Amino acid sequence: MKTLLTLEVEYDPTVTNPEGLAAAMDRLMETACSTPGILDDYANPMIGPFFVATPAIDSVAAGPQRVVVNVYGGVVQDVFCSDPHARAAIVDWGTESRDPCENGIVEVQTEDGGKLLAYVADYPTQPWKNLPDTDIEKALVAAKLAEDWLAPSRPEQYSPPQATRRYILYDFDAGDLATTTVYDSYPEAADDASELDNVIVVPLVFEKEAGDVAELQSAQPVPYHLTIDGPQFRAQRELLLKLQGLAGGGIPYSPARGELERLEGLIELTDGIADQAHDNYAIDCLLDVGEGPCACEKPW
């Protein structure tokens, strides 16, 4: 069984950073756990590496959630929430011209014994992914709030440098690396370290620039939901192999009956993947308007 524990740390940002603290906590935990019998009473659980918790796109995650309220002419126009489960309510005291019997109008008793009317109602919220490419985004950029407020909706453009980790084994006796292997995860490194004497796992932290964040995200495996017709997809793959062979031999292609529909189906499939990549993971692989070839330019 696994569990996830969180740790809150106060630190001086002029001296260190969250990733540096995570590396320091790794070393602290390794030193503490090297004491014989220290976790015997807890069945010697395996403790993984420390990671810095960061908000995910349109999901409830560690860190502050964000709400942007768009007001025009004293009237709320839009409410954008980074938490898709968040709800919003409007309490409007400007009810001078409203009918007290109107739905949503309530009477509130004030501390001085008076009475006030207010309009109260649920207000629909919009997902954070709808914020980019709006005048609201431009206003936040002009106010120099882009990095704090827009990173969840467009991380490839606004996120600060991020970091990734690799692990190596260090031999205290030799004063050198125990192996030239670089591990992608702490458990892998710890497994090999347990087979050697006087060896510790050392984390390496590499920063990724903001422009590389999309590349880092696209390299991570993420789920996509697709509806696949087995026989049709098999026929589409056979058509692609046929086109590959024709192109390799420089042979012109004239579509047989039904092949054009199969190609259109493959285009729809890639469009569906691109839509999910954009909407769910902020990976920009959508075609711009007019980017695709017109019908007269297609080879069939």
Q: Which two structure tokens, joined as six digits, stand for 174? A: 């030799």
pLDDT tens, position by position, 3-51: 878 888 888 877 777 877 888 888 888 888 888 888 888 888 888 888 8
Cα–Cα distances in angstroms (integers) from residue 176 to residues 19, 179, 181, 184, 216, in the given order: 24, 9, 13, 20, 30
Q: DSSP readout, 60-106?
A: --SS---EEEEEETTEEEEEEESSTT--EEEEE---TTS-TTSTTEE
DSSP 143: T
Q: Is the pLDDT of residue 56 over 70?
A: no
DSSP 294: P
Question: For the purposes of burial, counting CB atoms within 10 Å of the CB of 142, is it exposed (0-12), middle (13-18) or buried (19 or more)?
Answer: exposed
Edge to edge, the sheet with strand 176-177 lists 176-177, 162-171, 199-208
Q: Is the pLDDT of residue 297 over 60?
A: no
CA distance 242 to 233: 14
pTM of the predicted model, to two decimals?
0.35
> Which candidate, 168, 175, 173, 204, places its Cα nearest to that of 189?
168
Q: How many C-beta neighbours within 10 Å does residue 155 have?
A: 23
Q: How far is CA 33 from the centre of its chain?
A: 33
Do strands 75-81 and 67-72 pair parallel, antiparallel, or not at all (unpaired)? antiparallel
Q: What's the confidence (pLDDT) of residue 66?
A: 82
Question: Between these two residues, 119 and 286, which has the higher pLDDT value?
Answer: 119
pLDDT tens, position by position, 95-153: 877 788 888 899 888 888 888 898 898 888 888 778 878 888 888 888 887 766 776 55
Question: Between these two residues, 79 and 174, which has the higher pLDDT value?
Answer: 79
CA distance 153 to 65: 12
231, HSE (Cβ side, Cα atoms, 13 Å): 0
Q: DSSP readout, 158-202?
A: HPPPEEEEEEEEEETTTTEES-S--BSSHHHHHHHHTTSSSEEEE
Place of tokens 């001086």: 12
- Those residues whose C-beta lies under 8 Å from the C-beta of residue 154, and which sit 6 or more positions away, are 132, 282
